Amino acid sequence: MGRTLILMELDGRRVKRSSLHAVGFARRLGGDYVLLVIGHHLAEAATSLVGYGAETVLTADDPALAEPLADRYAQVVVEAARASRADVIVAAASTFSKDILPRAAALLDAAMLTDVVGLEPRDGQTVFNRPINAGSRIATVALEGPVRVLTVRASAFPVPDQAPAESPMGRLAVEADALPAGTRFVSRQQRTSTRPDLGEARVVVAGGRPLKDAATFEKLIGGLADVLGAAVGSTRAAVDAGMASNDLQIGQTGRVIAADLYIAAGISGSIQHLAGVKDCRVIVAINKDPEAPLVKAATYSLIGDLFQAVPELTEALKKRT
Amino acid sequence: MKILVTFKSVPENGAAEANTRVINPFDAIAVEEALRLRERGEAAEVAAVTIGEPAVEEQCRAALAMGADRCIRIDDARPLDPYAVARILKAVVDRESPGMVLMGKQAVDDDCGQTGQMLAGLLGWPQATFASRIALAAGRETAECTRETDAGLEVIEVRLPAVFTADLRLNEPRYVSLPGLVKARKKPIEVLTCAQLGVDARPRTALLAVAAPPQRAGGAVVASVDELVLKLREEAKVI
Ligand SMILES: Cc1cc2nc3c(=O)[nH]c(=O)nc-3n(C[C@H](O)[C@H](O)[C@H](O)COP(=O)(O)OP(=O)(O)OC[C@H]3O[C@@H](n4cnc5c(N)ncnc54)[C@H](O)[C@@H]3O)c2cc1C
Ligand SMILES: Nc1ncnc2c1ncn2[C@@H]1O[C@H](COP(=O)(O)O)[C@@H](O)[C@H]1O
């Protein structure tokens, strides 16, 4: 049995919940696993991870790693993989892991799979399932090599239960001067919203092109989301029109969600959008067109004008609570 | 400065059953960005490169018609994976010595989103992925780049040469014009093989099977907001 190195992702000083789903993947794969946290001031994050049955919780803590710059982080991942003799390297799929892991894979002379949603034994080896063609087909793929690198879809693997035994902590020595210096962090536009993150929300409310402008979008979609404690999402059309910020785009080329409840108002359901919402348990479409693809894919559809239906739904749900 | 821009020929919308092939949309954005940099006087030449069978020359012509100065096609009909593509592209970069490589953030047929980062790793160059703005500094030694991340917009500065991957909002690619197409016919497409480049790029992934994903059960139309709330509460038990 081999060893998996799991790259954890941080949200400030905390570990993102999606990263724990990657631990669920490692458990299914078998063998033991090492959790790697890269950054600066990592005590809180590392401590939160000791109950997940890892061989080691490994930290690479240095001021030079305060921001997730791919060239530096990829080098640290490579050093951690070598130090821990991992033959599989994995992380939950996100813009963070998709920036870093392919680069680390190339440095390790390894091929890689993106967005793995399943695994199965075949002819004595483990092969992997992943969506292709905008989610319209699921491929079964073999990945060869002494080192294999993957990102996995968080929603496809459960967060494991915590174990009573505590994993030991380890530190990976970081030589700041030996890190690549070709990239400099300049700034980040801090997200100010207090709403849940799209990738982790149980309920998501999204709006599309007919929402007109940012204020209307916020009033209707934001208003409905808030009575449900939901995350807000949107389509490419709404983002391009400036109604919603870029990180709210759901779909093949944006965020993939797997909410219990997804409510889509004024969204046609293009192949690209559908690719990001197929795994939601219950889908509600509010659309004036009964022929819209999202109406066909939805669990429940309300055919009508969203400018009427959305405020009405918001009010009805307010009364409920 | 020379810009190398990569493009892949993909079925329209990345759909397996599509019979029209196009330049991967993110690569069209990369080509557009390269052209704009040249038009602003930041770059002297835009060379476009693709790896594929002879049929992808239709997309080579499209890239030339958009305005690329020349095209290189690496003749290879094997089903390649991103790491194989990155190794081939590395050899092309070594041969061309561009100041920037512009690529798409993902190919919409395989949705891997790996190749640019792998190429940057192989070259030991900085990378700026998911770019929605690229601004070269005076002197062209660095570029400032805005990136679209799950957490919002991030700005980084990279030293050149570097690899950039385009996100949707980097620009709106121009349409191919008729005069552009006419001109494209006279522009060169150089054909090379992996053997000529001296790269062994055997793929390390193998596609064993494809299947349809689980289908969603057909839905129900509700007549009113009240009925919807009732269904969500009593039947689906999600609120
Ligand atoms: C390379 C590429 C990548 C892409 N990636 C993504 C992606 O990741 N995510 C994504 O979402 N899109 C993506 N797209 C865009 C996608 O193709 C569609 O254009 C987009 O999803 C459409 O957004 P929409 O549903 O908001 O708008 P439309 O398709 O215009 O749909 C609007 C819907 O609203 C309904 N409507 C209008 N008025 C009302 C009203 N008053 N009340 C109720 N209903 C109303 C209409 O019937 C229609 O169904 C991508 C496209 C490309 C080319
Ligand atoms: N066969 C190819 N030829 C040229 N460029 C490619 C090829 N495959 C991938 N690329 C480039 O790599 C990017 C990312 O592809 P992928 O990693 O497959 O999602 C694409 O947008 C292209 O710019």
DSSP for B208-236, written as a single string: EEEEPPPPPPP-EEESSHHHHHHIIIIIS
- For the segment A290-297, the average pLDDT, to the nearest whole number, is 96
Provide the token pair at B18: 């599509």
Q: In what order do the strands lie in the sheet with A169-171?
A: A112-116, A148-152, A88-92, A3-7, A32-39, A56-61, A169-171
Point out which residues pair with B135 in neighbouring strands: B144
**Which secondary-structure segment (H or E) carries B178?**
helix B178-186
Q: Nearest CA of chain A to the CA of B89: how many Å?
A: 13
Q: How far is CA A314 from CA A263, A310, B229, in A?
A: 12, 6, 10
Asked if the ipTM is above 0.90, the reply is yes
Is A7 within 8 Å of A90 (Cβ atoms)? Answer: yes
Is A141 within 8 Å of A150 (Cβ atoms)? Answer: no
Q: What residue's CA is closest to ligand 2, atom 21?
A: B104
Beta strands of chain A (E only): which ranges?
Answer: 3-7, 10-11, 14-15, 32-39, 56-61, 88-92, 112-116, 118-122, 125-132, 137-143, 148-152, 169-171, 183-188, 203-207, 231-234, 261-265, 282-287, 300-303
B230 near A CB under 8 A: no
End-to-end CA distance of chain A: 51
Provide the token pair at A280: 């939601």
Backbone angles phi, psi at A93, to 5 degrees: -65, 130
Binary contact (A316, B225; C-beta < 8 A) = yes
Evaluate: CB of B129 within 6 angstroms of ligand 2: no
- For the segment A211-220, the average pLDDT, to the nearest whole number, is 98
Q: At residue A190, does pLDDT exceed 90?
A: no
Percent of chain A with pLDDT over 70: 99
**Is cis: bond before B214, omega within 30 of 0?**
no
Percent of chain A with pLDDT over 90: 95
**Which secondary-structure segment (H or E) carries B93?**
helix B82-96
Grade residue A321 by pLDDT with cuts at 50, 70 and 90.
Answer: low
Query: Which of residues 15 through 34 in chain B touch A, CB cutoff 8 A?
Result: 15-16, 26
Binary contact (A189, B154; C-beta < 8 A) = yes
**Among candidates B112, B122, B126 on the partner chain, residue whose Cβ is nearest the Cβ of A183:** B126
Binary contact (A111, B213; C-beta < 8 A) = no
Q: At residue A1, does pLDDT exceed 80?
A: no
- Helix, strand, or coil (residue B160): coil
Q: pLDDT for B120-144, tens place per residue?
A: 999 999 999 999 999 999 999 999 9
Q: Which residue has the tokens 């954890």?
A: A8
Backbone angles phi, psi at B185, to 5 degrees: -65, -25
- Helix, strand, or coil (residue A95): helix
**Among candidates A96, A106, A139 on the partner chain, residue whose Cβ is nearest the Cβ of B86:** A106
In testing the pocket of ligand 1, which one of A211, A213, A220, A235 has its CB within 8 Å of the most ligand atoms?
A: A235
Q: What is the pLDDT of residue B218?
A: 74
B186-224 burial code (b ≥16 CB/10 A, e <16): ebebeebebeebebebebbbeeeeeeeeeebeebeebee
Q: At residue A192, does pLDDT exceed 90?
A: no
Q: What is the pLDDT of residue B163?
A: 99
Binary contact (B228, A203; C-beta < 8 A) = no
**Which secondary-structure segment (H or E) carries A71?**
helix A70-84
Compute the mean pLDDT over every residue in chain A, rounded to the nearest whole number: 96
- DSSP classification of residue A73: H
* Residue A12 burial by Cβ neighbours in a 10 Å radius (0-12, 13-18, 19+): exposed
End-to-end CA distance of chain B: 58
**Which secondary-structure segment (H or E) carries B132?**
strand B127-136
Q: pLDDT for A32-89, tens place per residue?
A: 999 999 999 999 999 999 999 999 999 999 999 999 999 999 999 999 999 999 999 9
Q: pLDDT for A88-141, tens place per residue?
A: 999 999 999 999 999 999 999 999 999 999 999 999 899 999 999 999 999 999
Q: How far apart are CA B150 and CA A166, in angstroms?
A: 31
Q: How far apart are CA B125 and CA B200, in angstroms?
A: 21
Q: How far apart are CA A32 and CA A138, in angstroms?
A: 28
Is B109 within 8 Å of B14 (Cβ atoms)? Answer: yes
Ligand 1 atom at minimum distance from A209 CA: 26
Binary contact (A272, B210; C-beta < 8 A) = no
Q: How far apart are CA A249 and CA A188, in angstroms?
A: 18
Ligand 2 atom at minimum distance from B81 CA: 18
Q: What is the pLDDT of residue A193?
A: 83
Which among B29, B93, B106, B111 is the top mutation candidate for probing chain A, defined by the most A β-carbons within 10 Å of its own β-carbon? B111
Q: In what order do the strands lie in the sheet with A137-143?
A: A118-122, A125-132, A137-143, B205-211
Q: Which residues contact A17 (CB under 8 A, 6 or more apart)?
A: A154, A159, A200
Residues of chain B falling short of pLDDT 50: none
In testing the pocket of ligand 2, which one of B85, B87, B123, B194 has its CB within 8 Å of the most ligand atoms?
A: B85
Binary contact (B238, A127; C-beta < 8 A) = no
Amino acid, single-letter form, for residue B220 = A
Q: At residue A178, does pLDDT exceed 80?
A: yes
Provide the token pair at B160: 């050149």
Evaluate: CB of B112 within 6 angstroms of ligand 2: yes
Provide the token pair at B68: 């690329």
Evaluate: CB of B73 within 6 angstroms of ligand 2: no
Q: Nearest CA of chain B to the CA of A201: how many Å?
A: 13
Q: How far apart are CA B119 and CA B115, in angstroms?
A: 6
Binary contact (B117, A100; C-beta < 8 A) = yes
